[in-house]
Amino acid sequence: MSAWRLALAPMMERTDRHFRFLMRLVTRRTRLYSEMVVDRTLIHGDPPRHLDFHPAEHPVALQLGTADPRLAARAVAIARPWGYDEVNLNVGCPSPRVQAGGFGVVLMRRPERVAEIVRAVYEETGVRVTVKHRVGLDEQGDYAFLARFVETAAAAGVRVFLVHARKAWTEGLDPKANRTVPPLEHAKVYRLKRDFPELTIVTNGGVAAPEEARVHLEHVDGVMVGRAMWDRPWRWAAADRLLWGDAGVPDRRAVLERYEAYLHERLAEGVPLRALVRPLFNLFKGEPGGRRWRRTLDAALRAGRPPAGGLAAQAPLEAPA
């Protein structure tokens, strides 16, 4: 089976190391992606702040934002000692700030530059970069444009393409609208897999449950999921069973107890309580007791300490898994 059979999409202000650790307790198999880190942030900033992760997170990928082959190679060389399982190039983000830096989705118009980045990183570090991109942007949305982009990047050594099955509009839609307004075009991603069978092709967009992911896996090598994992993390507890055939599902009490141990370890390192509690808010979303759970976490944050008696003691564990 593909190592990308199910993946947690990179999301700014969402897929930090704490949410990734929680999702690793929910699903052992899912590939986890970091928030995007810009090349200059690693080169001129504080690498441990952006690169540290718990060993349990493997398989885990670092997503890089860059438009400069030289800076990309330097950034990956800095990150390499951390032992990420993958470095992924962001060619999908349409935010104005990212566009102003010349990277993200606007790089789809410059497939040769993407190829230069990929080659520079490999020559400097030996790392084969993967690419996350859209099916198109603005008026450039036909399949020929998409196929040319993939063909050019593949010729430079890219073997894994994670494709957000929506076109992006660089003007007129904000990043949030770009995740929902352009129609989903999974058929284009399916066609990529037919036309480039030697490549690993992963589709992304609009998948809300493992059962839906299984349908897409009849056509592609993997499925990437973003907000649906953030909004309803426990819905994915069945993913290992449904998509890999593993036995059973995790026990939610055990998940909370393990996460609480992790929380106290990070608190001792000086991590703010809010950053550690935030990933837990949606763990019982849509279930009996879910609102009470959120109120409990809010009260803990106001008090400046974890919930009295522990997370499991305060959780509505009588709710169905």
Catalytic residue numbers read 93
Question: At which residue do the structure tokens 């690693």 appear?
Answer: 42
Which positions ≥6 away from 143 have C-beta within 8 Å?
A: 188, 191
Contact 150, 196 (CB under 8 A): yes
Instruction: Name the DSSP class of 283.
Output: T
Give the span between the Cα atoms of 246 and 309, in whole angstroms.
Answer: 33
Tokens of 278: 């935030």
State the SS3 of 89-146: EEECCCCHHHHHCCCHHHHHHCHHHHHHHHHHHHHHHCCCCEEEEECCECCECCHHHH
Distance CA(9)–CA(12), nearest Å, equals 10
Quick check: 228 and 235 in contact, CB under 8 A?
yes
Q: Containing H/E element for 302?
A: helix 290-303
| Structural tokens at position 248 | 């059973």
Residue burial 151-183, b: 16+ Cβ < 10 Å; e: rest: ebbbebebebbbbbbbbbbbeeeeeeebbeebe
Q: How far is it, in rounded angstroms, from Cα 122 to Cα 73?
A: 8
Helices and strands in the chain: count of H runs, count of E runs = 16, 8
Closest CA to 64 of 76, 47, 81, 54: 76
